[in-house]
A and B are shown apart, each in its own frame.
Chain A
Amino acid sequence: MEKVLKKDNLRDWVIALSSYEVHAPAFEDEVWNFKQVEKPEDAALDHTNTVKPPKDFSFPQREVYCEFAQKKGEAPMVTETLPALAAPKVVFGVRPCDGRAGPRNDTVFSKEFDDIYYWMRRKKVAQVGLACNTPPSRNCFCTAVGGSPHSEDGLDVLMVDLGDSYLVKALTKVGEEIVKAGGKALGNASAADKKTAAKAKADAEKAPMREIVDIKTVPENLQKNFDSEVWGEMAQACIGCGICTFLCPTCHCFDINDEVTNVTPLRGQRVRTWDNCQFPDFTMHSSGHNPRNTLGARLRQRVCHKFLYFVQNHDTYQCVGCGRCISECPVGIDIVAVVNKVAHDVG
């Protein structure tokens, strides 16, 4: 289903989606981030890309697994806290790279064991994508990892900027419902609209972006150069802040901790929070032994997870080329440069 939406009518579409919680990028504190739309007239799609990816709609930074209470000498009482009441959400302005992160995260949170917390949220999130006619960041490289600035993968709806209007393409059943809900706010797409969108796509795919050299040979070369000293050299400046993984749309590592709110009688919560392979204690055993005890080993883990291990396990890269980890790294560690160096330039 393809429709056309006059830019001025975005407000009416948002109003028509009143049975959903609508989110869209908002510029606050000097950065773009997804925010719940309070006033439909504020909804706009003139962002570059958000600093934080939309992964936390399904995988929030903090998820309470259960609450527990225990009186001394008695068995613990555990109450499950599922996000069953999470409101259905429509997220506008998802860039195609972030759209492609969705299916990758879905794989991680299903596989042999379904993660009920993730899926309860995920099933209620509809992603309305906005194609990139020009790369929103100087560090974009979606085309290097099999994506496209107009990729539909993982999105429910894709919008393409046509100038004064958007071409709106429903991609899933949920997407069709959302487009239909818009009613008269959206009109029928003409052949000319579709032609303009196709041209925008062709132009966007030709736009210069960061490049990974000979990507098909990257996994085998990373494996071959696993013991290279270059890892350590390229990680030398790393301060271990972990921003690269926190802002990554596909990084899914997490921690589980008990937070005690009352000591006697014991009360508290078991909580999942995002965690980070760049922290030394991420892998440190209680004994003090640490399998990844150097900066180089931890950088290697981040890169190999995305460009080697995930490929071995799921036959696709676990990187969608959004470039956030490059743009936001305080010391300028650049995953594209690291991959190119280790895969192709190690003697």
Chain B
Amino acid sequence: MSDNIYLPKMGRIIDVNSEVEGARAIKTFRVEFVNGDGFDHECGQCAMLSVFGKGESMISIASSPLIKEYKQFSIMRVGRVTTAIHDMEIGDVIGVRGPYGNNFPVEDWKGKNLIFIGGGCGLAPIWPIIQTAVLQRKDFKDITVFYGGRSSRDIMYAKELEKLRGDAEVHLSIDSEEEGWNEFCGFVPTNVMDKSPSPKNAIAITCGPPIMIKFVIQNLKGAGFEDTQIYTTIENKMKCGIGKCGRCNVGKDYVCTKGPVYSWADLKELPQEY
């Protein structure tokens, strides 16, 4: 079966953690491969998860490539497949094929200041870089993480973000005021403006809802960041994951193979249709 790109390998769920509850629930799953299967991945790559009888869904791999024991996926419950995955428990077996797409050029960023800007579920695709930078802390200069949710109940990786504070500057935000919330109130792009990170020797990496990304990029540009210093990762509906089924393209690029990772210098050259 090895040369059949469409057949998934089997992975067993070894850990489930509920990040966010409610209508936009997010759960984090850790999956280890069974039957001696598996693959290595790079920061920013995705995998096609399968629940037989429901279908497949492309999900970014949310753990560092340095972690070999399992792959982590943080998944919002929105459609048929993600709902089925949310119903799965420790020990259940899920299909996994991949890894797909390009990756963040993390090696090139050693010696630089890294600024991460995430919103909602968009912390997951950039988490592997944060995790890698922390595991190789000496290789990077300052690490700053901006992250925001609609409310305090929508903050994912809450414990991990707290643990990060020794290694990184962490700026959380929620959209509107809440009793007991001591950090920023307002949208993520505004929080970035408020703290005004320096573009000097820095790379900014952002992921979140399309509207957030748009304003983050605008604000970073205003703060003096060059197009080549800004990276994002985009998502589109995908079926094949290998540049054939035809739906995830932005202009000439199939996001599943040429993306999902883009510098703003490259992304702005494509038709703004995503």
Contacts and interface: CB of A to CB of B under 8 A. Distances in A.
Contact of A75 (B93, B236, B250): B93
B87 interface: no
Interface in B229-259: 235-237, 239-240, 242-252, 257
Contact of A252 (B8, B55, B239, B244): B244
16 contacts: A76-B52, A112-B257, A113-B5, A113-B242, A113-B243, A114-B5, A115-B5, A116-B3, A252-B246, A254-B244, A256-B56, A257-B55, A285-B237, A286-B79, A286-B82, A309-B252
Contact of B245 (A75, A111, A254, A312): A254
10 closest A-B pairs by CB: A253-B246, A286-B79, A75-B93, A286-B78, A309-B252, A113-B242, A68-B52, A312-B252, A76-B52, A256-B239
Nearest to A281: B237
A73 to B, nearest CB: 9
B105 interface: no
Contacts of A260: 53
A283 B237 contact: yes
Size bracket, chain A contacts? 35 or more
Interface string A279-304: 00011111101011000010001001
B203 interface: no
Interface of B: 1, 3-8, 10, 12, 34, 52-56, 78-79, 82, 93, 95, 210, 235-237, 239-240, 242-252, 257, 271, 273-274
Contacts of B10: 75-76
A60 interface: no
Given A76-B95, A277-B247, A282-B247, A70 B52 contact: yes
A80 B52 contact: no
A268 B273 CA distance: 36
Nearest to B80: A286
Interface of A: 65-66, 68, 70, 75-76, 78, 80, 82, 108-109, 111-117, 226, 252-258, 260, 266, 268, 270, 272, 275, 277, 282-287, 289, 291-292, 297, 301, 304-305, 308-309, 312-313
B52 A266 contact: yes
Contacts of B244: 108-109, 111, 113, 115, 252, 254
Contacts, number: 114
Contacts of A116: 3-6
A76 B93 contact: yes
B4 A80 contact: yes
Contacts of B12: 75
A308 B252 contact: yes
Given A76-B95, A111-B243, A287-B78, A309 B52 contact: no
A258 B246 contact: no
Contact of A112 (B95, B239, B243, B252): B243
A258 B52 CA distance: 7
Nearest to B251: A309
Contacts of A226: 271
A126 B102 CA distance: 37
Contacts of A289: 210
Contact of A285 (B95, B236, B245): B236
Interface centre among B6, B34, B56, B95 (most CB of A within 10 A): B6
Given A286-B237, A309-B249, 13 more contacts: A65-B6, A66-B6, A68-B53, A76-B95, A114-B5, A116-B4, A252-B246, A253-B245, A253-B247, A254-B239, A260-B53, A277-B246, A297-B273
A66 B12 CA distance: 20
Contacts of B243: 111-113
A120 to B, nearest CB: 10
B209 to A, nearest CB: 9
A270 B239 CA distance: 12
Contact of A78 (B7, B55, B247): B7
Nearest to B239: A256
Contact of B52 (A78, A272, A297): A78
